[in-house]
Structure 1
Amino acid sequence: MVNTKGKLYLIPTTLGDNEPLEVLPMSVKKIIERTNHYIVENEKSARRFIKKITPRKSQPNLTLYLLDKFTDEMEIQNYLDVCEEGVDVGLLSEAGVPAVADPGASIVKLAHHKNIKVVPLVGPSSIIMALMASGLNGQNFAFNGYLPIDKAERKKSIKQLEKLSFTKNQSQIFIETPYRNEKMIEDLLQVLSNETRLCIAADITLATEFIKTMSVHDWKKQKISLHKKPAIFILHKF
């Protein structure tokens, strides 16, 4: 029996205010041109992105379902109902790829449960791009999301990640809210061993892109300002 259900497309977006087709393949544009149902974290920015990549697309014809931390879990269960009628749905990230350090995994899980085909589209992932450019271990790595906000807990977590990187030969990746970048760097330089390698990557794919890997000893000699810039941190003690 032919499966006539619609598909769930995982649609990446840019990592900042640059032209979509500078970092996204034409296939993303083609999917957006023919898709009118989207699950989004922020309606305003989603509409702006869709308009930027497909200026002629009719905005009134779009149906947007909101997915954020306030969305009721029961409501989410209905978001893919149109797929049962053969209609495709796009899951849009706020920045980068959906469901990776980004809301959306619950929708993908629901799609698998309903036997709806999930189609991930090619696009920029700041996590992967930072690892690619770090020179650290791309064969064995872990993404740890956000570290604790409490200063003491954060320092403890940093030390644990450093130990883990050494014992498992595993690069440890994590992120921070942009306005707390400076405090994160300060704690990293206080806690980590001088020989530990640290990669700091910010504004990936933008004109202001910064990616640098050095020992903590050398980082202590540098002055770096990452205030309010999206950043990825990777550490590895060899």
Structure 2
Amino acid sequence: MPGTLYLIPNTLGETAALNHVIPEHVQALTAQLPHFVAENAKTARAFLKLVHAVHPLARPLQEIGITELNVNTKADALHALLAPLRAGHDVGLLSEAGVPAVADPGADLVRLAHREGIQVRPLVGPSSLLLAVMASGLNGQSFAFNGYLPTDAALRSKRLKELETRSRQEKQTQLFIETPYRNAQLLEALVASCQPSTLLCVATDISLATETIRTRTAAQWQSALAGGQAPDFHKKPTVFLLLGQ
């Protein structure tokens, strides 16, 4: 009988107390797993050390198998990652930040597990996307995550206008993210591309001590930027949301 693939949530950044964002039962289950698939083995070990401080690991850290799955992993390598599961061992799919398989390369492995009849169990933890929707005040009944926008300025502006039109017509909140060092450029593009009445939310460092979440119209953001009041979001994970009015 194959093992179970557990989807293990991670923190959204450095946090003083793991219990603030990762439920205790998730930590306890994580501590028992003999194998993990993670984007980065080094950061996965750092997470397991935090878990160990509260729930001692069932085996020494150096004996726990950690295999990497990231953007460089070839599609034909996924089959081998499920080997421990086929042998009857449980495996944890650990995200680099937040929940696995959402804006995360783990989705392909989860799909393959379903194809092979392997049980998949998602565990509770922080999702920056859902937390951003919750705190934005924008439409939480209908929303879409669009990943990264084009880096080319003209293509990005075109895409933003398309998303704004769709948002206004369907009353649908649009979410997207950016490489943290380009946050300022994206906010400037939003202000320049969107109608003055469009609502824009900038949610930074969600669940961390430095968290800031602010919703304003595009016109209000334009005034803030012109007055030198840009968010403190340089090189910080940020979710952007818009809702056309």
| TM-score category of the 2 structures, normalised to the smaller one | over 0.9
Cα separation, 2, equivalents of 1:133 and 1:70: 34
Deviation at 1:85, TM superposition (A): 2.2
Q: How far apart in 2 are the matches of 1:42 and 1:88?
A: 19
Q: Provide TM-score, normalisation by structure 2.
A: 0.93
Match of 1:190 in 2: 192
Name the residue aligned to 2:141.
139
Instruction: Identify which of 6, 25, 29 aligns with 1:9.
Output: 6
Contact 1:131/1:138, CA 8 A, preserved across alignment: yes
- 1:229 alignment partner, one of 219, 236, 240: 236
The total of aligned residue pairs comes to 235
Identity fraction in percent: 47
Deviations 1:144-175 (A, max 9, x none): 00000111111111111110101111111101
Q: Which residue of 2 aligns with 1:107?
A: 109
Equivalent residues of 1:164, 1:170 under 8 A apart? yes
Distance across 2 between alignment mates of 1:43 and 1:237: 41
Say whether the 8 Å CA contact 1:197–1:213 is kept in structure 2.
yes
**Corresponding residue to 1:95 among 94, 97, 119:** 97
Q: Distance in 1 between matches of 2:71 and 2:222?
A: 38
Equivalent in the alignment of 1:156: 158
Residue type of the partner of 2:239?
I
AA aligned to 1:183 is Q
Please say if 1:51 is aligned against 2:49.
yes
Task: Give the drift of 1:20.
Answer: 1.8
1:189-215 deviation per Cα after TM superposition (whole angstroms, max 9, x unaligned): 111111001111000001110001111
Distance across 2 between alignment mates of 1:49 and 1:143: 27
Q: Contact (CA 8 Å) 1:32, 1:54: kept in 2 or not?
A: no
Q: Supply the distance in 1 between the matched residues of 2:122 and 2:204 (Cα, whole angstroms).
A: 25
Aligned residue in 2 for 1:63: 65
Q: TM-score with structure 1 length normalisation? A: 0.96
Distance 1:84 1:43 in 2: 22
Deviations 1:107-165 (Å, cap 9, x if unpaired)?
10111011111000000000000000111111111100000011111111111111010
How far apart, in 1, do the equivalents of 2:155 and 2:187 lie?
Answer: 15
What's the offset of the Cα at 1:220?
Answer: 1.6
Alpha-carbon distance in 2 for matches of 1:202, 1:48: 23
**Cα shift at 1:21:** 1.4
Counterpart Cα distance in 1 of 2:132 and 2:175: 9
Cα separation, 1, equivalents of 2:25 and 2:65: 21
What is the correspondence of 1:161-172 to structure 2 with a 5 Å cutoff? 161-172=163-174
Q: How many Å separate the matches in 2 of 1:99 and 1:93?
A: 8
Which runs of 5 or more residues in structure 1 are unaligned? Answer: none
Query: Partners in 2 of 1:140 and 1:73 — Cα distance?
Result: 32
Cα-Cα RMSD: 1.0
Structure 1 residue runs of 4 or more that deviate by more than 4 Å after TM superposition? none
Correspondence for 2:218 among 210, 216, 219: 216
The correspondence for 2:123, drawn from 98, 121, 124, is 121
Provide the secondary structure at the position in 2 that maps to 1:78: helix
Partner of 1:214: helix, strand, or coil? strand
